[in-house]
Structure 1
Amino acid sequence: MPQASVADQAYPNSAVDWISKLISFDTTSRLSNLDLIDFIRSYLERQGLQCVLTHDRSGKKANLFATVPSASGRTTGGIVLSGHTDVVPVDGQAWTSDPFAASIRDGRLYGRGACDMKGFIGVTLQLVPMMLQARPAQPVHLAYSYDEEVGCVGAPGMIEDLVKRGVNPAGCVVGEPTSMRTIVAHKGINAYRCRVHGHAAHSSLTNRGLNAIEYAARIICMIRDIADGHKADGPFDEAFDVPYTTVQASMIRGGIALNTVPDLCEFEFEYRNLPDTSSEEILSRIRAYIDRDILPRMKDEHPSGRVEIEELAKSPGLDAAEQEAITQLVRALTNDHEVRKVAYGTEAGLFQKAGVPAVICGPGNIEQAHRPDEYVTLDQIAQCEKFLAALIGSQVPHGA
């Protein structure tokens, strides 16, 4: 929806007002997030903070990174509070209220992104004046990314930039919805598009064509075999809600007419690997099957046959070390010492890969994410405020 210029905007005061304002920006991943980013940047700059933006290639999307210095003026080390600004589509969903106009009913704040994850971002922004007044013992970094929902595409540029600038945070809390419980691990995300190229012919002359759909189907069945193998034989990690690596084909397109041999079939597939399971091994098995079994048969039928695999998204899993200072601190502040691991992916694995220890903890229940009438409870917002206020007042040493 169109937004007024940032100069005309009134900035919210409470966390609920902040979350409601953020929901009003339609930042569905297929759209630009710049209106929201400009609004946040204007607010932070008026608070005297410097914002660093990293854009995508089109210039239509951006990450925002800002630092609240420590009492001594230090801007390195400290804690990162990380959240993504994009949301999933509402197309075809039966909402009982406008998904981009927040509403409160029965102790719940409704709207697209309310829990995933504008709830967390709204709380962090509401606490900025408190941070500046309290003059924390260590810097607090605000990291807001784009395109997390399509495979954690935006955050790598922001993380690469903070590494180059020597920010060197001691820890990161990614505020995905966990019902304010501590999550110490998640799976890796790997997404690909496979294009199977055949040769078109009239369906009465199938011997002169090469059916791309039929060979794509063979590859998809092999992918299912890999999935069945992991489900039956592991490896397993029972701390995960789904305790094995999962693999699936998800979207497929091909053919132009019933009486035409299809010359192209495209499908997407993904796998979510346990953190200690090689993500490359699965792709290597698929490529080996194509090279060994599929391509020779295709070439026997027609020399134009070929198969291409394109990487769409790739993000590492998270396996937070219990001895890391950020893990111990978040556990202490939430009074939560149960080991929890989740099948969905987050940007925490990217921070860990860059040398920044990370855990996941944020308001809302993941079961509400992506659904119609998405909501976060007001109680969860209040718990998040209390948690972050305590976190900001704590010290996270390096190397603990």
Structure 2
Amino acid sequence: MVDIKRYTQELSQLVALPSVSCATPSLDTSNRAVVELLANWLADLGFACELQPLPDQPHKANLIATRGHGPGGLVLAGHTDTVPYDAHSWQQDPFDLTLRDDRLYGLGATDMKGFFPVVLAALRGLDLNKLQAPITVIATADEETSMAGARALALRGGFQARAAIIGEPTALKPIRMHKGIMMEAVHVRGHSGHSSDPALGNNALEAMHQVMGELIRFRRELQAQFSHPGFTVQVPTLNLGCIHGGDNPNRICGDCELQFDLRALPGMNNDELHAQLGARLRPVAEALNVDITLRALFDDVPAFEQPAGSALVRACESFSGQQAVSAAFATEAPFLQSLGMETVVLGPGSIDQAHQPNEFIPMAQLAPATHLLRQLIAHYCH
């Protein structure tokens, strides 16, 4: 069982605290109030709590809260930041949790502040004095942009847990793999001039046409080489997302930039993909006598896969009654997995409700989610 009144009160307090993570500085906010509130609640349950400011961002922090000692145990992890919001598109204040039609509406209600009161409810239903292995609750910063919080955890290390659950909204279906993501910008610099005489310049837009053709050929080759039947889209994808170049129709374009993303399958290496992209574009630059530079728009997220036969996947499938599947979205899972923990993504709510107005978490999933976490805690820590 879950105390719905208490859950609603706690989620209401979390939603009321803005913690927007955004690449636009004017929209970006701190998450410190959220992790401090979570730390207070967990301290009341006997957890030792540590706030770890992010490098170069002291206004943001991860929370690591632990009860119990020794090796093994379980990590329950989630991010505390939200995406920006369009207030005019919401039917209510995004920061005022609203109950309507057995759904709780609010910014971050499902992605993913709603996970933390479920964790608290699960913990309160157990005798924590009988822990045989530690339980750790992790609340991270900046997942929605740079994943700086998870990257900081991976660099810090020191975790001895056997397993980690990341409570992203999966409708309580275990997720054991997802693709990685690279977001890149390729910039072509030619030479501007009067359009009446092409010899007066070197058209960057025309060179970009060649670059785009090379990227499309690269995509075709990757998709012929790599495939994974566990994904709905079974091949890696490369999307040409946006392009900007030139300033007037009667001027030869001097500069052009294309931005694209590449989503790699498990088993593919982002560093190798970077090297291959550079190697393919250098001959284009040399042949057309232009400068071509490739830069990352943000740090890559590796692909993630937890083997189907691993102990955590089997436990999650048994307790949830659902077979583990793949997800189309990236998570912090590869960073926790890099610390030596078996990792599964599993939480209440649906990703279909995330990143849009009138985000909600369904009340019907709260009790099953709480019961599922209690089973996992008992399995790994009792």
TM-score (norm 2): 0.87
The residue that corresponds to 2:361 in the other structure is: 376
- Aligned-partner Cα distance in 2 for 1:124–1:355: 22
Equivalent in 327, 334, 347 of residue 320 of structure 2: 334
- 1:77-226 residue pairs with structure 2 within 5 A? 77-91=72-86, 94-130=89-125, 133-161=128-156, 163=157, 166-204=158-196, 206-226=198-218
Alpha-carbon distance in 2 for matches of 1:29, 1:153: 11
Cα distance in 1 for partners of 2:8, 2:72 equals 30
**What RMSD, in angstroms, separates the aligned Cα atoms of the two structures?**
2.6
8 A Cα contact 1:56 1:62, kept in partner:
no
Which position in structure 2 is the counterpart of 1:290?
281
Q: Is the 8 A contact 2:122 2:371 kept in 1?
A: no
3-state SS of 1:154 partner: helix
Find the aligned partners of 1:96 and 1:13 in 2 and give their Cα distance: 23
Aligned to 1:394, the other structure's residue is in SS state: helix
Contact (CA 8 Å) 2:98, 2:105: kept in 1 or not? yes
The aligned residue for residue 7 of structure 1 is none
- Matching residue within 240, 243, 258 for 2:231: 240
User: What is the CA–CA distance in structure 1 between the aligned matches of 2:296 and 2:119, rounded to whole Å?
Assistant: 37
Distance in 2 between residues matched to 1:75 and 1:252, nearest whole Å: 53
> How much identity, in percent, do the aligned residues show?
29
Q: Does residue 1:22 correspond to 2:8, yes or no?
A: no
Q: Give the Cα separation in 2 of the matches to 1:218 and 1:93.
A: 42
SS of 1:393's equivalent in the other structure is helix
Q: 1:280 offset after TM fit, Å? A: 3.8
Q: 2: CA distance between counterparts of 1:196 and 1:345?
A: 29
The 3-state SS of whatever aligns with 2:238 is strand
User: How big is the shift at 1:130?
Assistant: 4.6
SS of 1:66's partner is strand
Return the letter of the residue paired with 1:116: D
CA contact (8 A) 1:196 1:308 kept: no
CA offsets per residue over residues 188-230 of structure 1, 9 Å max, x none?
Answer: 1222232323334344454333333433343234323333445
Number of residues of Structure 1 aligned to a counterpart in Structure 2: 372
Q: How does 1:64-83 map to 2 (within 5 A)?
A: 64-69=63-68, 74-83=69-78
Sort the Cα spacing of 1:293 and 1:267 in 2 relative to 1 into closer, same or farther, 3 A: closer
Of 324, 332, 347, 2:332 maps to 347
Indicate how the Cα distance of structure 1 residues 373 and 306 shifts in structure 2: closer, same or farther if over 3 A, else same. Answer: same
| Whole-Å separation in 1 of the counterparts to 2:192 and 2:44 | 61
Q: What is the aligned partner in structure 1 of residue 25 from structure 2?
A: none
Query: For each residue in 1:338-357, what CA deviation from the matched residue of structure 2 results, as whole angstroms up to 9, or x when unmatched?
Result: 24112211111222222111
Question: Structure 1 length as normaliser, TM-score?
Answer: 0.84
Equivalent residue, structure 2, for 1:391: 376
Are 1:189 and 1:316, in contact at CA under 8 Å, matched by a contact in 2? yes
Shift in CA distance, 50/142, structure 1 to aligned 2, threshold 3 Å? same
Cα distance change, pair 131–311 in 1 and its aligned pair in 2 (3 A): farther
CA displacement, residues 278-312 of structure 1 (integer Å, 9 cap, x when unaligned): 3344333321221112343134xxxxx34242362
**Distance in structure 2 (CA, Å) of the matches to 1:266 and 1:38:** 42
Aligned partners of 2:130 and 2:215: how far apart in 1? 54
Match of 1:366 among 340, 343, 351: 351
Question: Does the 8 Å CA contact 1:272/1:343 hold for their aligned counterparts?
Answer: no
SS of 2:42's equivalent in the other structure is: helix
Displacement of 1:131: 5.4
Give the one of 308, 322, 327 matched to 1:322: 308
- What are structure 1's unaligned runs of at least 5 residues? 1-11, 300-304
Unmatched segments (≥5 aa) in structure 2 = 23-27
Q: Residue 251 of structure 1: SS of its match in structure 2?
A: strand
Relative distance call for 1:315 and 1:308 in structure 2 (3 A) is: closer
Q: Quick check: 1:35 aligned with 2:33? A: yes
Does residue 1:269 correspond to 2:260, yes or no? yes
SS in 2 for 1:14: helix
Shift of 1:142: 0.9
1:79 maps to amino acid: L
Paired residues of 2:312 and 2:342 also in contact (CA < 8 A): yes
- C-alpha contact (below 8 Å) 1:24/1:102 kept by paired residues: yes
Q: Does 2:303 match 1:310?
A: no
